[in-house]
Protein backbone atom coordinates (compact mmCIF):
# COMPACT_ATOMS: atom_id res chain seq x y z
CA UNK A 1 0.00 0.00 0.00
CA UNK A 2 1.23 3.47 -0.88
CA UNK A 3 1.98 5.96 1.80
CA UNK A 4 0.70 9.52 1.51
CA UNK A 5 3.87 10.96 -0.05
CA UNK A 6 4.05 8.20 -2.66
CA UNK A 7 0.41 8.75 -3.52
CA UNK A 8 0.80 12.51 -3.98
CA UNK A 9 4.07 12.17 -5.91
CA UNK A 10 2.28 9.93 -8.47
CA UNK A 11 0.33 12.96 -9.79
CA UNK A 12 1.91 15.06 -12.58
CA UNK A 13 1.22 18.23 -10.60
CA UNK A 14 1.76 18.92 -6.93
CA UNK A 15 -1.86 18.55 -5.75
CA UNK A 16 -0.89 19.28 -2.17
CA UNK A 17 -0.10 22.87 -3.15
CA UNK A 18 -3.37 23.12 -5.08
CA UNK A 19 -5.62 22.19 -2.14
CA UNK A 20 -3.85 23.91 0.71
CA UNK A 21 -5.27 27.22 1.96
CA UNK A 22 -2.44 29.73 1.78
CA UNK A 23 -1.12 32.50 -0.45
CA UNK A 24 0.45 30.07 -2.87
CA UNK A 25 -2.78 28.15 -3.42
CA UNK A 26 -4.66 31.41 -3.93
CA UNK A 27 -2.12 32.35 -6.60
CA UNK A 28 -2.78 29.05 -8.38
CA UNK A 29 -6.54 29.57 -8.10
CA UNK A 30 -6.25 33.10 -9.48
CA UNK A 31 -4.20 31.85 -12.43
CA UNK A 32 -6.77 29.11 -13.08
CA UNK A 33 -9.78 31.46 -12.89
CA UNK A 34 -8.03 34.01 -15.08
CA UNK A 35 -7.23 31.31 -17.66
CA UNK A 36 -10.82 29.98 -17.56
CA UNK A 37 -12.28 33.45 -18.06
CA UNK A 38 -9.89 34.26 -20.89
CA UNK A 39 -10.70 30.93 -22.53
CA UNK A 40 -14.44 31.52 -22.14
CA UNK A 41 -14.13 34.98 -23.68
CA UNK A 42 -12.09 33.67 -26.58
CA UNK A 43 -14.55 30.82 -27.20
CA UNK A 44 -17.49 33.23 -27.09
CA UNK A 45 -15.81 35.58 -29.55
CA UNK A 46 -15.04 32.68 -31.86
CA UNK A 47 -18.61 31.31 -31.63
CA UNK A 48 -20.18 34.70 -32.35
CA UNK A 49 -17.89 35.25 -35.35
CA UNK A 50 -18.83 31.81 -36.71
CA UNK A 51 -22.53 32.47 -36.15
CA UNK A 52 -22.38 35.86 -37.88
CA UNK A 53 -20.53 34.36 -40.84
CA UNK A 54 -22.99 31.47 -41.10
CA UNK A 55 -26.02 33.79 -40.95
CA UNK A 56 -24.60 35.94 -43.76
CA UNK A 57 -23.97 32.83 -45.88
CA UNK A 58 -27.44 31.45 -45.09
CA UNK A 59 -29.02 34.75 -46.13
CA UNK A 60 -27.06 34.66 -49.39
CA UNK A 61 -28.22 31.09 -50.05
CA UNK A 62 -31.86 32.08 -49.52
CA UNK A 63 -31.40 34.94 -51.99
CA UNK A 64 -29.84 32.54 -54.52
CA UNK A 65 -32.73 30.10 -54.05
CA UNK A 66 -35.20 32.89 -54.71
CA UNK A 67 -33.55 33.59 -58.08
CA UNK A 68 -33.77 29.99 -59.30
CA UNK A 69 -35.89 29.37 -62.42
CA UNK A 70 -35.86 25.58 -62.53
CA UNK A 71 -35.73 22.57 -60.20
CA UNK A 72 -32.23 21.82 -61.49
CA UNK A 73 -31.01 25.26 -60.38
CA UNK A 74 -32.63 24.74 -56.96
CA UNK A 75 -30.88 21.39 -56.58
CA UNK A 76 -27.55 22.93 -57.62
CA UNK A 77 -27.90 25.77 -55.10
CA UNK A 78 -28.87 23.33 -52.33
CA UNK A 79 -25.93 21.04 -53.10
CA UNK A 80 -23.54 23.99 -53.13
CA UNK A 81 -25.00 25.27 -49.86
CA UNK A 82 -24.72 21.86 -48.16
CA UNK A 83 -21.10 21.48 -49.24
CA UNK A 84 -20.16 24.90 -47.91
CA UNK A 85 -22.00 24.32 -44.62
CA UNK A 86 -20.20 21.01 -44.10
CA UNK A 87 -16.82 22.60 -44.89
CA UNK A 88 -17.52 25.48 -42.50
CA UNK A 89 -18.53 23.11 -39.70
CA UNK A 90 -15.42 20.97 -40.15
CA UNK A 91 -13.23 24.08 -40.20
CA UNK A 92 -14.88 25.47 -37.04
CA UNK A 93 -14.59 22.14 -35.20
CA UNK A 94 -10.86 22.11 -35.98
CA UNK A 95 -10.54 25.63 -34.58
CA UNK A 96 -12.36 24.57 -31.41
CA UNK A 97 -10.13 21.52 -30.98
CA UNK A 98 -7.03 23.70 -31.45
CA UNK A 99 -8.36 26.18 -28.89
CA UNK A 100 -8.93 23.41 -26.31
CA UNK A 101 -5.40 22.17 -26.91
CA UNK A 102 -4.03 25.68 -26.39
CA UNK A 103 -6.06 26.15 -23.21
CA UNK A 104 -4.81 22.82 -21.86
CA UNK A 105 -1.17 23.77 -22.54
CA UNK A 106 -1.61 27.16 -20.85
CA UNK A 107 -3.29 25.55 -17.83
CA UNK A 108 -0.68 22.83 -17.52
CA UNK A 109 2.13 25.38 -17.67
CA UNK A 110 0.65 27.27 -14.71
CA UNK A 111 0.23 24.18 -12.51
CA UNK A 112 2.73 23.55 -9.72
CA UNK A 113 5.02 20.62 -10.52
CA UNK A 114 7.08 18.32 -8.34
CA UNK A 115 10.20 19.54 -10.12
CA UNK A 116 9.80 23.04 -8.70
CA UNK A 117 12.65 24.11 -6.44
CA UNK A 118 10.28 25.35 -3.77
CA UNK A 119 9.71 23.22 -0.71
CA UNK A 120 6.34 21.46 -0.61
CA UNK A 121 3.69 23.17 1.44
CA UNK A 122 3.12 21.55 4.82
CA UNK A 123 -0.40 21.34 6.19
CA UNK A 124 -1.55 20.67 9.67
CA UNK A 125 -3.41 17.39 9.98
CA UNK A 126 -6.90 17.98 11.32
CA UNK A 127 -8.37 15.18 13.40
CA UNK A 128 -11.93 14.83 14.51
CA UNK A 129 -12.39 15.22 18.22
CA UNK A 130 -13.07 11.94 19.96
CA UNK A 131 -16.13 12.16 22.18
Tens-digit pLDDT string for the chain (131 aa): 666 666 656 666 665 565 666 667 677 778 878 888 888 899 999 999 999 999 999 999 999 999 999 999 999 999 999 999 999 999 999 999 998 888 888 766 666 665 555 554 455 555 555 55
> What per-residue confidence (pLDDT) applies to 16?
59
> What per-residue confidence (pLDDT) applies to 26?
72
Are 92 and 50 within 8 A, CB to CB? Answer: yes
> What per-residue confidence (pLDDT) applies to 34?
85
DSSP string, 42-77: HHHHHHHHHHHHHHHHHHHHHHHHHT--SHHHHHHH
Residue ranges of domains in the chain = 22-110
Amino acid sequence: MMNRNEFFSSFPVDVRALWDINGKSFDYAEKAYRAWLEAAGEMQTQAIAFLNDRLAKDSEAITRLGRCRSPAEVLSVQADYAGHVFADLVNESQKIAASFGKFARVGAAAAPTHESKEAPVRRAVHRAAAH
